[in-house]
Amino acid sequence: MTQPKPNLRTQLLTSLRNRRSQPVLSAVETPHSGLLVASYNVHKCVGADGRFDPDRVMEVICEIGPDVIALQEADKRFGDKVGLLDMARLARETGLTRMPLAGRPQSHGWRGNVLLFREGVMRNVHPVVLPGLEPRGAVVAEIDLSDGSELRIIAAHLGLLRWARRQQADFILRLMREREDCPTVLMGDFNEWRLGERSALSRFEPVFGPLPPPVPSFPARLPLLALDRIMANRAGLIRDVQVHDSPVARLASDHLPLKAWIDLAALSSHPAILR
């Protein structure tokens, strides 16, 4: 029997049903093992209540306890694009180190995209301008982990316009094809709630395979839309994808963070989906 194709209405109804049956967690604990990666649009540290409060954002990051996290909207958008978080304090409390970017002393990242990592050596860091009318970008970096394995991270924030998201997805895939094959995790705020062939998400399938079920992360107080995504170009590389839902996470930003566990054994044992 042919399975019905997912659509936005089905996604919204499923999200509402799941929301009613799942309480807010006061503390998020999981039995998972592996490398914990996360993606979080911090909305310039302005919460769902309209209040600017970077401390709440840092509290959420501490709750997650990630090994690698991609932040979006972590800098002011205009002017000197000053970073909005206390990175020194975040490093003390979490052990996370900000990915270095040359020539941007006041910014945390590139066009609001920030990569933080806990261990290993980050190299080949490349900020990328994505096509479109809005100032959108991505950061590509490789991490040499302590066990000798290698992982590429692409942190991206796609645009609000549908045609731009398609171009941006194609641009990211081109970047991957121009580089040496490597286990890759793509994560960020994709701003894409549509499903099916017209969705920009479908452009990623030749490299990242069939998309996993959507995990709603927006809006934070009642997440119905899966705007944020974490995907990999190796089958089995990602063990699980979850939304991080806690009382402070529902207030700290208009997005909830997304997190996933990377199977370290799969970094070298699985072939690429597309070569």
Q: What is the pLDDT of residues 70-102, one digit of tens each?
A: 999 999 877 667 899 999 999 999 999 988 776
Residues forming beta bridges with residue 185, ordered by sequence position: 153, 232
The H-assigned helical ranges of 69-121 are 87-94
Please tell me the least confidently modeled range out of 40-54, 106-120, 180-194, 245-259: 106-120
- In three-state secondary structure terms, 200 is helix
| Burial class, 34, CB count within 10 angstroms (exposed 0-12 / middle 13-18 / buried 19+) | middle
State the pLDDT confidence band at 275, using cuts at 50, 70 and 90.
Answer: very low
Query: How far apart, in Å, are the Cα atoms of 214 and each of 16, 194, 203, 211, 226?
Result: 13, 11, 16, 8, 6
Domain ranges (residues) in the chain = 8-264
Angle at 200 between CA 195 and CA 205, to 5 degrees: 85
Q: Say if CB 155 and CB 188 are below 8 A apart.
A: yes
Amino acid at 29: E
State the pLDDT confidence band at 41, using cuts at 50, 70 and 90.
Answer: very high
Percent of the chain clearing pLDDT 70 (strictly above): 84
By residue count, the chain amounts to 275
Measured N-to-C along each axis, helices 54-64 and 87-94 cross at an angle, to the nearest 10 degrees, of 20
Give the C-alpha separation, 191 to 229, whole Å. 9
Residues 6+ apart with CB under 8 A from 95: 118
State the pLDDT confidence band at 61, using cuts at 50, 70 and 90.
Answer: very high
What does DSSP say about strands 228-232 and 35-41: parallel, antiparallel, or unpaired?
unpaired
The CATH number of 8-264 is which of 2.30.22.10, 3.60.10.10, 3.90.1150.10, 3.20.20.80? 3.60.10.10
Percentage helix, strand, coil for the chain under 3-state DSSP, each rounded to 5: 25, 25, 45
Q: Please give the structure tokens belonging to residue 87.
A: 């990175």
What is the dihedral sign for C-alpha 216, 208, 180, 271? positive
Examine the pLDDT at 30 and tell me if it is beyond 90.
no
Rounded mean pLDDT of 127-148? 91
State the pLDDT confidence band at 188, using cuts at 50, 70 and 90.
Answer: very high
* DSSP single-letter state for residue 272: B
State the pLDDT confidence band at 249, using cuts at 50, 70 and 90.
Answer: very high
Residues 6+ apart with CB under 8 A from 1: none
Q: Per-residue DSSP letters for 243-262? A: E---HHHHHH-SS--EEEEE
pTM of the predicted model as reported, rounded to 2 decimal places: 0.87
Question: Among residues 272, 83, 68, which one has the least CA distance to residue 179?
Answer: 272
